Structure 1
Amino acid sequence: MVQMLIFGMGYAASHLAGRLRARGWEVIGTTRDGRGDTTAFDDAAAVLAALRTSTHILSSVPPAEGDDPVLSRYGDAIAIAPAAWTGYLSSTGVYGDAGGAWVDESAPVKGRRPDRNAADAEWRALRGDVRVFRLPGIYGPGRSILDRIAEGRAHRITSPDQVFSRIHIDDIAGGVIASFRGPAGVYNLADDEPCHQNRLVEWGCVMLGAPLPPLRSLDEAGLSPAARAFYAENRRVANGKAKRLLGWTPRYPSFREGLAAGA
């Protein structure tokens, strides 16, 4: 029996869990409150029992308030757990601003969030079997530019040299699954076509027959601090290592295929 313990049954992790269960895996997931069929994160007895029986361990919990809660609470137990595979969903934000240049896994970790940089490093050092997946902007059903356009929340920003990478949730799951047969290490999981966010908005508006939002500056758009931070960094994320070592290929190599599939 193969069993995965997933810390943090959020958007991407829940999609992965569904694919694994369809393959006959047992998946135990944690949430803050133990809702549905998940285990409460603070239920130490249940979590430690799952760590003793799980063949695979994954954390999708980001650091908060300067701390990785999974490592703080269960790091020592994870370090000695009998699992054969350990994974962590990190962020390409650890690379920081690259001025639009390509970054691969050898790029220095110099992101603007010290807690995210530290968590990435701590997971890499925790065990010899750890796979760290650095992810750019995540999209998929219910969380794509199509939804933001339909809800009137899409923006076009006057930053013509800005470039972003992204990844469909199905390709995150595919990369994690491919890594079961590949070596430990750090992997960027991103699609093949970094581009400006405006291109997604424009493509989505054509798909939906919706009017284009006006071009605005960041100040004019009235974005939240989190949304403004999105535009503070500029990079292209290279995915060649995952292709070479894991045999992974994105099902959705660009936003066009992902959105055409219903996002």
Structure 2
Amino acid sequence: MTKTLLSIGHGFSARALAARLLPQGWRVIGTTRSAEKAAQISATGVDPVIWPGTDLAPLLGEIDALLISAGPGPDGDPTLNALQTEISAAAPRLPWVGYLSTTGVYGDHQGGWVDETSPLTPSTKRGQARVAAESQWQSIAGLNLHIFRLAGIYGPGRGPFAKVRNGTARRIIKKGQVFSRIHVEDIAQVLEASLAQPNPGAIYNLCDDDPAPPQDVIAHAAELLGLPVPPEVDFETAEMTPMARSFYAESKKVRNDRIKEELGVKLLYPDYRTGLKAML
């Protein structure tokens, strides 16, 4: 019997999961906002649905799993704003619901370690919106919810190589700054493992084993390409967009023991070096 996943906001991570599920006989339905993106989704074997614009309520009665990648906006969580009543009604029939959140919910820990039990103290508006969205999803009675807190995502087509090649990469130096990151294929394998062994209420950090200063990643990418290491730029004087600068407002190392111990995941790319090498 064919299983069906409805993927709301079918983006980079969801596409990687679909590539694993489709060969196993799953049907994947992915929502997107434009006809152009719908055509791209269709080419990967996923059934596209343009949303908003299509009534998703009938689908909620037919699916086996629901993945939400669409993040909150100024008005809150777009999926719940549109469908909370329908999702609540479908909850008892849905064995697995996955919500893709962010490690930004932990806020700044001045380079210290956090795990899934750490307090949620976000300092950015984006992080605060994520905490509110997580809470809203958790409040739905009977929903078999799994929350995945993603570190910085990279993978094919999304990484430092293009900027290093075209000469726009900079090594922004802020003392003590570290980020955790995760290869998109490792996100996909964690989601696949969770689908196979649901644990409603579970929260998982998705990151690799090697939190690192961002300038080290840029330098390694340049070395792999055989190009000069981009210059260092002091964070205080660097020209940056408000969005880019906000990422540097928080520094932490994220633990990932739970995905290994509970889901049996062995990371394909346990650090940025193996991930970048494979991308190249």
Tell whether the structures are fold-level matches, with TM greater than 0.5. yes
Match of 2:45 in 1: none
| C-alpha distance after superposition, 1:206-230 (max 9, x if no partner) | 0001111111112433111111111
Match of 1:170 in 2: 185
Which of 18, 24, 39 matches 2:49?
A: 39
Task: Verify the 8 A CA contact 1:164 1:194 in the aligned structure 2.
Answer: yes
Match of 2:61 in 1: 52
> In terms of mean alpha carbon deviation, does 78-87 or 251-260 score higher?
78-87
Match of 1:141 in 2: 156
Q: How does 1:48-127 map to 2 (within 5 A)?
A: 48-81=57-90, 82-111=93-122, 112-113=124-125, 114-126=128-140, 127=142
Q: What is the deviation of 1:135?
A: 0.4
| C-alpha distance after superposition, 1:151-207 (max 9, x if no partner) | 333221221311100000000001101112141211001000001011101111100
Match of 1:210 in 2: 227
Q: What is the deviation of 1:109?
A: 1.2
Unaligned runs of 5+ in 2: 43-47
Match of 1:22 in 2: 23
Match of 1:129 in 2: 144
Task: Verify the 8 A CA contact 2:88 2:143 in the aligned structure 1.
Answer: no
| C-alpha distance after superposition, 1:83-118 (max 9, x if no partner) | 210000000000000111110010111212221110
Distance in 2 separating the partners of 1:262 and 1:163: 22
Identity of aligned residues (%): 39
C-alpha RMSD over aligned residues: 1.4
TM-score (norm 2): 0.89
SS at match of 1:99: coil
Which letter maps to 1:179? S
Task: Verify the 8 A CA contact 1:157 1:215 in the aligned structure 2.
Answer: yes
Task: Verify the 8 A CA contact 2:94 2:144 in the aligned structure 1.
Answer: no
Distance in 2 separating the partners of 1:128 and 1:49: 18
Distance in 1 separating the partners of 2:210 and 2:267: 11
Unaligned runs of 5+ in 1: none
Distance in 1 separating the partners of 2:136 and 2:255: 23
Which of 235, 250, 259 matches 2:252?
A: 235
Distance in 1 separating the partners of 2:176 and 2:9: 35
Match of 1:199 in 2: 216
Distance in 2 separating the partners of 1:86 and 1:31: 19
Which letter maps to 2:50? A
Which letter maps to 2:95? A
Following TM superposition, the consecutive aligned residue runs of length 4 or more in structure 1 with deviations greater than 6 angstroms are none
Task: Verify the 8 A CA contact 1:56 1:83 in the aligned structure 2.
Answer: yes
Which letter maps to 2:112? A
Q: What is the deviation of 1:16?
A: 1.3
Task: Verify the 8 A CA contact 1:124 1:132 in the aligned structure 2.
Answer: no
Distance in 2 separating the partners of 1:124 and 1:213: 44
Number of aligned residue pairs: give it.
Answer: 262
Task: Verify the 8 A CA contact 2:3 2:26 in the aligned structure 1.
Answer: yes
